A = this chain, B = another copy of it.
Amino acid sequence: MRPFKHPKIEDVALEHVLHALSDPLRMEIVRQLADEGEASCTALDRGRPKSSMSHHFRVLRDAGLVSTRNDGTVHMNSLRRDDLDKRFPGLLTAVLSNAGK
């Protein structure tokens, strides 16, 4: 499996970030990544099938929120926090501090 394509942070649109975060499952994923650092896809499913999770991680990657690296058979996902803080100062902090509401 080839490494994934991640958008350059300057190409990331606020609109896409907000859309990615407007799904409860994706918000929960982002929240957990913020709390716990890296995580594999299966570590964050909630009994949902792999194909659904794969879809959501792709949305998060395409929106510039998440970075995925290959480690053996496992895909480790992490929040692109530094990138996002640079591109949209204060946004992630505000969102995460209000997440779950």
Closest to A91 in B: B94
Which chain B positions have C-beta within 8 A of A100?
Answer: 14
Docked pose: A99 CA to B18 CA in angstroms: 11
Restricting to A72-101, which residues have a CB under 8 Å from any CB of B? 87-91, 93-95, 97-101
Closest to A10 in B: B101
CB of A24 closer than 8 Å to a CB of B: yes
Which chain B positions have C-beta within 8 A of A15?
Answer: 22-24, 27
Assess whether A101 is in contact with B22, with CB atoms less than 8 Å apart.
no
Assess whether B19 is in contact with A22, with CB atoms less than 8 Å apart.
yes
* A interface residues with partner B (beta carbon < 8 Å): 13-16, 18-19, 21-24, 27, 87-91, 93-95, 97-101
